[in-house]
Structure 1
Amino acid sequence: MSLRFLPVFSALTFFLMMLFSVNATAQSIDFGNDSSEWANDGECDDPRFEGDEMAVILLDEDTKRDATDCRAAYQAGDIRLVSSSIDYGDDTSEWANDGECDDPRFSGAGMAATLLESDRGHDATDCRAGVERGDLRFDTAQNTSQRSDGIYFGDDSSEWANDGECDDPRFAGEGMAATLLDEDINRDASDCRAGVERGELRYKGVN
């Protein structure tokens, strides 16, 4: 082979390797289905992703429900998983690799029942897996006022937040909603905190 063709050959090889890498990663992502109201509109509505081809308004209910749009944008390099921009830290927590996220910077149905500040940034594998499944959210501006007496109340992202009843199934008492869903764990902070402070609720953890 002539030496003058080596730079072209090397550039082509690099391009093909990068293309193969993107496609291989895309195959490992569970994009879900196209059951979102906004599926097949040319924008990705799945909040697990970020980038230029994302919809302006993102809803948790569209997680894994805009597969065609998100797969196309991902393969084109126009979006990326939100998890790729998070510094997850390491796995030095005592509770690392147990299937639950113990890092208090996150919230959602995949969280451990008891969260400690000492585990901040130390349960990387569990927390990354939860974000990529769509079970967890990274709390970039974590509200430390949502902690009381060692209890992490989370945020107010539940559909039923701020309705005067606690919808988080980690609690029990007369101030609880009639129907409790695991998806509301750590997501009805204000109602549950108020109930605990009034003495109507107690923290029981996750069954």
Structure 2
Amino acid sequence: MPHHRILTAAALVALCSAASAQTRTPASALDFGNDTSAWANDGECDDPRFAGPGASSLNVIVDLMKDATDCQTLYEAGEIWLIAEAPAPVKAPPPAGNAVQAPAGVVFGDDSGGWPGDGECDDRRFFGPGMARSVDTANIGKDATDCGAQFARGQVQLWDPNVARAATQCTAINFGDDSGQWSNDGECDDWRFEGPGTSSIMLMDDIMNDATDCRAACNAGRVFLRDY
């Protein structure tokens, strides 16, 4: 995912040294996935599980485990690390123009999406009671004011695939039935889930209505609980 990142050599050495001082999961123990992302093999890691000077400035859920070569190479070089193992608070580069940024360093983006200013967060990187009833990957980073306001109120949080993976026990989930319009299409349409195995558009109306697809994706480690 192309972007401009300015980092001095001294800063890079400091960051990498700090990372190496932490307990890091060996690369051999990580599943980096495949290279099916639109931004694979561009020299930056686009998998949202990682952070660091080698990571893209805007990593989205749809690229989870889909930039294997870049991420593995950068991980082994010490230029990225798992967010859960970050050596220090990792802040994303400041957004361009008048984009909104959360105090915690979450880049909200802008208000160029289809539903800005309606009081609901339409950016599916987030989860919580402040979310809209339908979310679309096309609105990622495009509902800044609404999502920023809901974030400030504690009504949405940034979805963390690592935490979600740990919290998801497929055998304990009631997947429902296949009564949804989009059941058995190979994608999970149940709003309760997020990850690379989900549809690009998720509706609350499809909760528990796509059992076969969602169960298969969960068992394959391609979807995890949205709320955890």
TM-score normalised per structure 1: 0.38
**Which protein is richer in helix relative to its size?**
1
Larger Rg computed on CA atoms: 1
